[in-house]
Amino acid sequence: MSVLDKSNLDWASFKEEHHLKEELETFNRGKNGYLDRMEFLSRTDYREFEKEKAVRNSLRKPL
């Protein structure tokens, strides 16, 4: 048995022992998934940065 197989079995048994399957499915579903939320926050942060940069550039004196 490989390390990955063993880890997968350990994780499955941990989820079963702590009754986490439904909770994990809820948080990992579609738009409520962690990675989707993090990607959304990253895009939002980048847009804010670009808007602030545009304002700073518009206030800058031309050379």
- Residue 63 has a pLDDT of 76
| N residues, the chain | 63
pLDDT per residue of the chain (63 residues) written in tens, 0 to 9? 899 888 999 988 998 888 888 887 777 666 567 787 888 999 999 999 999 999 999 998 887
Q: How far is the C-alpha of 3 from the C-alpha of 18, rounded, in Å? A: 22
Long-range contacts of 48-51 (CB under 8 A, 24+ apart): none
- Residue 31 has a pLDDT of 59
Model pTM above 0.75:
no
Q: How far is the C-alpha of 63 from the C-alpha of 53, rounded, in Å? A: 18
Q: How far is the C-alpha of 1 from the C-alpha of 7, rounded, in Å? A: 10
